[in-house]
């Protein structure tokens, strides 16, 4: 059977609980918000930035840009999730800054017919059959001076975590299992592959951040509940070597070379 891109249609509530309503999700959101502060327009800047959120999920991160007065296009492959995002934005009085589309990443250039100052693509590529081609599409959506915020599931970190927890057979089997788990990314990405793909597209990484550099490696699960302390450690160390490379996710801020 041919592989298909993952969709979360019909499991929005479960997805929300697993991703957004946990310390893992809160850490991820806080790190991204810290990283992207520098991309927000300055107060009083008359020029509104156009922001595209690809696979935006519940649209929590993009609210950072909507609150700054940017024009945000929110997209996701799941109509259910897009509806939940719109409801969240309405609750916060921000829906007037948004345009919504239900569409896969691959169809966005033809659908939108425009380019953006900032493209957000977080925790999307690892769910796709062809993440390399997805990068080509993302570049098509960027202005010549546009920027891309890309977060992807780190294959190296998945190997490290499974070795730490004794899952040697799984690592020896090249991280493959007979049964696919729907809530688990089907294709963690090798950072070296990502570097080569970006270089071939003449895109450069201007900032690298590890996301969840410590949380996922804690042997004592009670320590994972110490959110404030973990967040402080994340923000202190997650742009420094060697910690930046062991984040469960990697957040790379990208521009045209």
28 is an annotated ligand-binding site residue? yes
Q: How many CB atoms lie within 10 A of CB 178?
A: 5
76 is an annotated ligand-binding site residue? yes
3-state DSSP assignment of residue 227: helix
Q: Is 11 exposed, middle or buried, given 0-12, 13-18 or 19+ CB atoms closer than 10 A?
A: middle
Q: What is the C-alpha end-to-end distance of the chain, expressed in Å? A: 39
Q: Supply the pLDDT for residue 45.
A: 67
210 is an annotated ligand-binding site residue? no
5 is an annotated ligand-binding site residue? no
Q: Quick one: pLDDT band at residue 1, thresholds 50, 70, 90?
A: very low
| 66-70, 74-78, 117-121, 182-186: the lowest-pLDDT one | 182-186
Q: How many CB atoms lie within 10 A of CB 217?
A: 15
Check if the beta carbon of residue 212 is closer than 8 Å to that of residue 248.
Answer: yes
Q: Is the pTM of this model over 0.95?
A: no
CATH architecture of 12-36+47-256: 3-Layer(aba) Sandwich (3.40)
Tokens describing residue 141 = 């959506």
Q: Supply the pLDDT for residue 179.
A: 54
CA 186 to chain centre: 15
Tokens describing residue 251 = 């957040």
Q: Quick one: pLDDT band at residue 29, thresholds 50, 70, 90?
A: very high
Q: What is each CA distance from 52 to 105, 109, 182, 236, 243, in whole angstroms?
A: 11, 11, 26, 29, 29
Q: Is 65 left (phi over 0), alpha (psi -120 to 50) or beta?
A: alpha
221 is an annotated ligand-binding site residue? no
Residue ranges per structural domain of the chain: 12-36+47-256
Q: What is each CA distance from 37 to 47, 89, 142, 170, 251, in whole angstroms?
A: 17, 20, 19, 39, 14
């Amino acid at each position: 059977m041919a592989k298909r891109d993952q969709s979360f249609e019909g499991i929005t509530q479960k997805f929300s609980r697993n991703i957004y309503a946990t310390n893992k999700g809160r850490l991820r959101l806080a790190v991204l918000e810290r990283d992207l502060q520098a991309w927000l327009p300055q107060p009083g800047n008359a020029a509104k930035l156009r922001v595209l959120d690809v696979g935006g999920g519940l649209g929590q991160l993009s609210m950072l840009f909507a609150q700054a007065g940017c024009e945000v296009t929110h997209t996701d492959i799941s109509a259910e999730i897009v509806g939940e995002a719109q409801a969240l934005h309405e609750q916060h009085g921000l829906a007037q800054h948004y345009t919504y589309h239900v569409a896969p990443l691959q169809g966005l250039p033809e659908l939108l017919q425009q380019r953006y100052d900032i493209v957000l693509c977080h925790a999307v590529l690892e769910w796709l059959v062809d993440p390399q081609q997805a990068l080509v599409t993302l570049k098509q959506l960027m202005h010549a001076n546009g920027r891309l915020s890309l977060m992807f599931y780190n294959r190296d970190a998945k190997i490290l975590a499974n070795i730490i927890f004794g899952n040697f057979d799984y690592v020896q089997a090249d991280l493959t299992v007979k049964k696919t788990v729907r809530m688990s990314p089907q294709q963690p990405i090798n950072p070296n592959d990502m570097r080569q793909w970006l270089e071939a597209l003449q895109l450069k990484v201007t900032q690298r951040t590890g996301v969840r550099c410590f949380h996922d490696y804690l042997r004592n699960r009670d320590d994972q509940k110490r959110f404030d302390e973990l967040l402080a450690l994340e923000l202190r160390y997650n742009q420094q070597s060697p910690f930046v490379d062991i984040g469960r996710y990697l957040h790379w801020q990208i521009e045209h070379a």
